[in-house]
Copies of this chain bind each other. A is one copy, B any other.
């Protein structure tokens, strides 16, 4: 039961409506109908009907000739958070990490070439990288990315690596196939991964895998510190064991709330 957009069962109107919604970003929070059309590549007529429908459903609001999202859109993301019982599964354990180390802490899964923040507890120190649930980050710059990629079957990892070179965000971002493969292999070997100044200067993060009952990796959790203040060795010495303990707790919760496992592996 899989299809592409040429299949007669594919509901183009649904796909187009979603692409209209996703056209609104931090750079384009308010757009006219023709701006949405230009951004999505859809016809003005299609965009008009999508916007009118999203307005009727309360997801979009009109301000003169421009359109803007409403807070009801948050309900869509919340459908995932709630159906995965993420508050019960993970939030409490990541909060413990943040309380002790004043790091930011996240639970992420792989989606294509990105890691997606599924839970994020911000740091209570002035943070360099502020994230939010649903934010994405290229996997080759993320500690959780190395963990998640490293636990993929070999052929899937190689398929991913075939996309090299990867974009550089700093001069420490690994960009070649061999660099990224080495980091993923180390994650597989060691059971943890570190990313230092890879996505932005000043951040060092350590990640460990979350496993289901069968030992399959379904997610990764991490915490991130200030790389000018915490060394790699210090990070491992202080954070690895607490992170592994949190991962163990989360794994245990996955027995009671298996939806995340099914979502990732099912």
Contact = CB atoms under 8 A, between A and B. Distances in A.
Contact of A56 (B4, B29, B75, B136): B4
Contacts of A59: 18
A2 B55 CA distance: 7
B134 A68 contact: no
A58 B111 contact: yes
A55 B99 CA distance: 38
Nearest to A84: B29
A13 B10 contact: no
A63 B266 contact: yes
Given A53-B15, A69-B79, A69-B263, A74 B25 contact: no
Contact of A80 (B10, B69, B112, B259): B69
A55 B84 CA distance: 17
Contacts of A13: 11, 13-14, 17
Interface of A: 1-5, 7, 9-11, 13-18, 21-22, 24-26, 28-30, 48-50, 52-59, 61-64, 66, 68-87, 91-92, 95, 98-99, 109, 111-112, 116-118, 121-122, 124, 130, 132-136, 257, 259, 262-264, 266
